[in-house]
Amino acid sequence: MDAHPWPCGAARLGLLARFADRSELVAYLDVLRELAHGDLTDLDGGREPNLTHRFLSWASPRV
């Protein structure tokens, strides 16, 4: 489990307000996840980080 949620609560609220359409929000977060994945892979000697849950789980549409 991550020590600190990403994004923080205030940022989540801001993103939800900015992206009324959840599918657009998830697409935006997926771009950020890909960028972070590349950066962390380079910094961590090629080890693949698993960022999907951290970046996307909170924004998935509720059923």
The answer to whether position 9 is within a domain reads: no
**Which domain covers residue 32, as residue numbers?**
21-59
The answer to whether position 5 is within a domain reads: no
Q: Centre a 10 Å sphere on the Cβ of residue 19 and count the other Cβ atoms it contains.
A: 16
pLDDT tens-digit map of 13-59: 999 999 989 999 999 999 999 999 988 888 878 777 889 999 999 99
Q: Which residue's structure tokens are 């939800």?
A: 16
For residue 10, give the DSSP letter: H
- Please tell me the predicted confidence (pLDDT) of residue 3: 64
Position 1 pLDDT exceeds 90? no
Q: Report the alpha-carbon distance of residue 61 to residue 7 in Å, rounded.
A: 17
The answer to whether position 35 is within a domain reads: yes
The answer to whether position 40 is within a domain reads: yes
The answer to whether position 28 is within a domain reads: yes
The answer to whether position 3 is within a domain reads: no
- Please tell me the predicted confidence (pLDDT) of residue 62: 67
Say how many domains are in the chain: 1
Q: Place 10 in a pLDDT band, splitting at 50, 70 and 90.
A: very high
Instruction: Give residues with Cβ within 8 angstroms of 6, minimum separation 6.
Output: 54, 55
